[in-house]
Amino acid sequence: MEAMEQPLLSGESSETNKKKSWGVYQSIGRVNSLLQRANFVGTDVSIEEIRSAAHNDPCTPISPPLLPYPKPDVVVAEQPAGVGATAGDPVGSSVPPVIGRQALDELDIRELLIDHVGHRCCWGSLPARRWKIVRVEDCNVYVGTLETFIEEREAIRRTAPYAGSKIDGKENGPELGLWELDLRHLFPALFIPHVRSEAKIPHSEVMEKCSGCSGRGEIACPTCNVGQEPGFYKENQMISCSVCHGRGLIAHSDGSDTLCSNCAGKGKLRCAACGSHGLIKCQMCSGEGSLLTSSIALVTWRTLVTRKVSASRGAASVPDEVFHRAKGAQLCNTQAYHCTPAFFADSFLLNKFSSEVIADRSPVPPTARVVGERHIISVVPVTRVVMSHRDRSFTFYIIGLSNEVYIKDYPSRCCWGLCPCLNWLSFS
């Protein structure tokens, strides 16, 4: 049975070196199956390799914050129960039980597929129930993430009507800089996707005369005092009645006229906006005549995420988003101000994979500061299943510790791509 392409964690190619290696990671595969399985070469990594993942010392801060924030601790995930072969297990022996998941036989695999197909209204269940399972292959997919939690600050000027309250201006002290503000009471949980808040900058308030009304609190009515010079207005301006068009009478088809009820026969009406007083309240200052301007700090906390997947050839057709959502076993979980690549003493390829994830770090905007980072490497078990009937066949995947099913080309569909049930990137 042809082995598939060697994934990230690979052992020595020499058979002699393999026989000398005792402690190996178990393949995150399914065992005790009644079916013939093809294990991917190079999916084993030693238990000592997991435990040797070093704590990454944070580097010198690029731009350390002026005020102390909650500092992320360096954390390395504990080894899950069941990882690694025992000292008495020779290399090449049967694979130990799967982490946190029971082995799947043909009945389990078929039940998972039937349940998945049952959630698709336009998929027929005949292939899932009747077609023959001809091949089952186990492999591991490695998922690396780097989350950079940043804080962004921006200052804006905000103006509001002044109602006579106490002013916190420069006479109470110098205005604080944007990054001198103590905003610990607003600080959210680390690595939250996005949250925004705002705070007033102390000693930044300034009272000024309203430019809209020149401090009067009222402006000339734009309805009955159109075209007046600034600061001038006329009272008792009347407007023409829109019903009788200023006649005071309503003409009828028989030639008769009746008194207009809208204006009581006067042909004129008082201004509906100001009651013909000539002035209306200034909307800019709400009639106060003065404005209070202050500086506001807009603060945004968000997480920049870098993701990378290392999949063997057998799982290369599955979109990366599926592996990112799948539940796997963490090999490394490190938090620091500035994460560096994880170190595994006996795995050059795993170290290289971690370095590639770190190297793809998302750029930090110039107006932001890094609060902390989290680097995670996880292994996601994948089972590739091939089913066939006569000269037809299709492939599906059982992914993660929660046995999620991913299938793209199911042979029995009747919606031809017009139904939302064909959202292939979503699990049932």
Q: Which residues contact 282 (CB under 8 A, 6 or more apart)?
A: 210, 212, 213, 216, 217, 218, 219, 289
Phi/psi of residue 403, each to 5°?
Answer: 55, 50
Q: What per-residue confidence (pLDDT) applies to 32?
A: 40
Sort strands 290-310 and 218-220 into parallel, antiparallel or unpaired.
unpaired
Q: What is the DSSP string of 99-154?
A: TTS----HHHHHHHHHHHHHT-TTB-SHHHHHSEEEEEEEEEEEEEEEEEEEEEEE
Sort strands 218-220 and 279-281 into parallel, antiparallel or unpaired.
antiparallel
207 contacts 170 by C-beta, under 8 angstroms: no
Mean model confidence pLDDT for the chain = 76
**CA distance from start to end of the chain:** 32
Q: What per-residue confidence (pLDDT) applies to 308?
A: 94
Q: What per-residue confidence (pLDDT) applies to 29?
A: 40
Residue 417, burial from CB neighbour count under 10 angstroms (0-12, 13-18, 19+): exposed
Q: What per-residue confidence (pLDDT) applies to 9?
A: 40
Q: Which residues contact 152 (CB under 8 A, 6 or more apart)?
A: 299, 300, 301, 302, 365, 367, 368
Low-confidence ranges of the chain (pLDDT < 50): 1-36, 38-100, 422, 424-428
Distance of CA 204 to the CA centre of its chain: 35
At residue 291, the 3 state secondary structure works out as strand
Is the pTM of the predicted complex or chain greater than 0.75? no
Q: What per-residue confidence (pLDDT) applies to 311?
A: 87
Question: In the chain, what are the domain boundaries?
Answer: 15-146+304-422, 150-210+290-300, 219-281
Per-residue pLDDT reduced to its tens digit, 301-339: 999 999 999 988 878 889 999 999 999 999 999 999 999
